[in-house]
Amino acid sequence: MRIRGLAAGSTATLVAVGAAATVVGAALGFGPFGTAAPALAGVAVTTPDALDPAGTVGVLPPAPRPARAPHAYTPPPPVQFEVPPALAPRLSPMPAAITVSELGIPELVLGAYRMAESTMSAEAPGCGVTWHLLAGIGRIESGHAGGGRTDAAGTTVTPILGPVLNGHLAGNQVITDTDGGALDGDKKHDRAVGPMQFIPSTWSRYAADGNGDGTADPNNVFDASLAAARYLCSGGLNLRDSAQEVRAVLRYNNSMAYSANVLAWSAAYAGGGTPAPGSIPEVRPEPAEPTSAPEPGRAVDAAAPVAPAAPAPAPAQLIPGLPELPCLIFCPPPGGSPAAPATPPPPPAP
């Protein structure tokens, strides 16, 4: 009984396996015992759009792409920002990028000095003012416009003003206002203005438009450099002569220490370098003592030039570190010059 039950189960299993193989073979195109199965009829599947005559699912050809011609990029228009009128006076111009030359002078300020020399070579060829003389003055007066703190047009970002000339500093002149405070902002007393430190009354006579923008501004390095060159050349001086060059610098500031300082910097710049630290003493510009209209820092006008004082003799050069040589022969007595020989006593009276 038990053997019969196992045989019956095995037979049922074989029948089920055979039926499954038949179904798989029919799906793969084979009939029973390896014969070919009859082809199944194709079933057409319609698309949701019954109006489409194609109506069958398949691979569609790619749609043609529209041709695209290359075109240049057009940037958007710049945004215009209007500064409120109440805020505009409180805004300072943006400083330009400061590039310092090998001479230690900002490139833009150095260009102003060179442009003034070029203009004067055509305007007054007999003067011979040089860019390095202007650079020497600019170095002493304002440190080359405060180290080149100007905008791209050469105008100082912040005003450079000298002390109020009301006599509160020792040696300064007292100069009452001459421009209504238009240049220096002081309606009581004048102040030197700009990178070349012009008194308003002097600027009114020698004002120049060095950068050709139609405005003469003492706060602009191009305008101030050209005005300083005209001031130095006024009176028909020939600055190729060293004595007349000294006269011109003394006219700018009537001080021999100031003149020596300016000329030392000028010679260093002309030689293509800068002075070694400490080789030129820093001298503060001293006020002048004019004989006519007082203008501190500006000796007198060309109508009354001041003759330079005779320079003091240079001290003798000593070699430090050498001891005093000892005396070997004919040594003088200590304490100075040798003593005078004693007067012989008078002969005894008879």
Instruction: List the one residue out of 144, 150, 148 whose CA is nearest residue 131.
Output: 144
Helix (H, G, I), strand (E, B) or coil at 9: helix
- Residue 294 confidence (pLDDT): 33
Count of residues making up the chain: 350
Query: pLDDT tens, 31-45?
Result: 555 555 454 444 444
Q: How far apart are CA 150 and CA 218, in angstroms?
A: 13
Q: How far apart are CA 298 and CA 303, in angstroms?
A: 13
Query: pLDDT tens, 282-334?
Result: 555 544 333 333 343 443 333 333 344 444 444 444 444 444 544 545 455 55
- Residue 174 confidence (pLDDT): 85
For helices 256-270 and 131-148, what crossing angle results, to 10°?
90
Give the percent of the chain with pLDDT over 70: 52
Q: Which two tokens stand for residue 160?
A: 């450079």
Instruction: List the one residue out of 190, 201, 202 whose CA is nearest residue 251.
Output: 202
Q: How far apart are CA 242 and CA 288, in angstroms?
A: 21
218-256 burial: b if 16+ Cβ within 10 Å, else e? bbbbbbbbbbbbbbbbbbebebeeeebbbbbbbbbbbbb
Report whether 249 contacts 311 (CB < 8 A): no
- Residue 137 confidence (pLDDT): 96
Report whether 189 contacts 164 (CB < 8 A): yes
Domains of the chain: 99-270 (1.10.530)
Query: What is the phi/psi pair of residue 176, to 5°?
Result: -70, 165
Q: How far apart are CA 189 and CA 179, in angstroms?
A: 9
Below-50 pLDDT ranges, the chain: 1-7, 37, 39-46, 286-323, 325-326, 328, 330, 336-342, 350
For the beta carbon of residue 166, count every other beta carbon within 10 angstroms: 16
Q: How far apart are CA 156 and CA 324, in angstroms?
A: 57
